[in-house]
Amino acid sequence: MKPPLRILIIDDSPEDAVLLVRELKKEFSPVMERVETEEAMLSAIEKGKWDVVVSDFVMPEFNGLAAISILHQQNRDLPFIMVSGQMGEELAVEAMRAGAHDYLVKGNLSRLIPAIKRELKEASDRDKRHKAEAALHATEARFKSLVEQSLVGIYLLQDGIFSYVNPKFAEIFNFQQSELVDGRALLDLVIDEDRQAVAEICETILGYSDNGPPCYFRGQGKCGKDLQLEMHGTKTELNGRPAS
C-alpha cells in the first residue's frame, strides 16, 4: 500500500498540477489541493495539515518567493519544492536562499519523488530534534526551579570562583546572589584557620569521578558571624572545563 502524501500545490496551471500528481502516484497516494493566490494559500494552510508544498515560481497573481515568506510568517516548517518552467540558475539560487529546499524544471520531474522523500525525512528529523530540545529545556526549567527553591545552599565553582549560587546559599552568608557570582571565591567565605583544608578538599573533589568526601568547616558571613558548615561536592563540567 502506497503511503499517503498531503500536498499543497501552488500553481496557476491545473494541467501542470495533474502532471505532478500523476508523477507522485508512482510511489504515493497523494491528496492534493491547488491554489494560485496568497488568500487561497493562507486559507489552505489554515484548514489543512500538509506534508509538502510544491510551488511554481511565477504566476499572474502570486509567486514562489512570496509563498515561502508566508510559510515563514506562519511558522510552518514544511518541505518547499520549487517546480517551474521559467527558472534559470540565478532564480534557483535566489529561491534556495529564500528557503526553498529544492527546485525542479517542469519538463523533467524525474527528481520530484526522490526530492520529496529526502525532504520528508529531513523535516521529520528536524521535528524530532525540536521536540527533544523542547523537552530538554522543560527539564532544565524544572531543575532550575527546584534548585532556586531549595532549602539547601547550592553552588557551582570554577577555578575556585562562584559561577552560580542559589538564593539559599546567598542567604546563609547574608549576601545577594549577584554579590557572590563571577567574582568571589569560596575561600573568601571560609575563616583563615580552615582555608587550607577547604582548598585541599576542593582539589580532591575535582579528582573524583563521583561525589567527593564531605567537608566540615567554619565559614564567615557578610556580617562577620562564624558559621558551622558541611560541604558536599561533585565534579562536573562548565563550558567544557572542570567545575564542582
**Domain architecture of the chain: domains with CATH:** 4-133 (3.40.50.2300), 150-243 (3.30.450.20)
Mean residue pLDDT across the chain: 87
pLDDT at residue 86, as a whole number: 67
Closest CA to 144 of 119, 167, 162: 167
pLDDT at 211 exceeding the cut of 80: no
Confidence of residue 3 (pLDDT cuts 50, 70, 90): very high
pLDDT at 4 exceeding the cut of 90: yes
Amino acid at site 121? K
Amino acid at site 87? M
Confidence of residue 158 (pLDDT cuts 50, 70, 90): confident
Bridge partner list, 233: none
pLDDT at 12 exceeding the cut of 90: yes
Q: How far apart are CA 221 and CA 206, in angstroms?
A: 25
Quote the cell numbers at residue 25.
502516484
Strands 241-243 and 236-238 turn out to be: antiparallel
The average pLDDT across 51-56 equals 94
The average pLDDT across 205-234 equals 76
Q: How far apart are CA 112 and CA 119, in angstroms?
A: 11
Share of the chain above pLDDT 90, in %: 33
The average pLDDT across 197-219 equals 75
Q: What is the pTM of this model?
A: 0.62
Task: Provide the residue count of the chain.
Answer: 244
User: DSSP 3-state assignment of 63?
Assistant: strand
Lowest mean pLDDT among 146-150, 178-182, 188-192, 234-238: 234-238
Other beta carbons less than 10 A from residue 20's beta carbon: 23
pLDDT at 135 exceeding the cut of 70: yes
C-alpha distance across the termini of the chain, in Å: 57
> Cell 508523477 appears where?
23
Lowest mean pLDDT among 32-41, 63-72, 105-114: 105-114
pLDDT at residue 239, as a whole number: 78
The average pLDDT across 150-163 equals 87
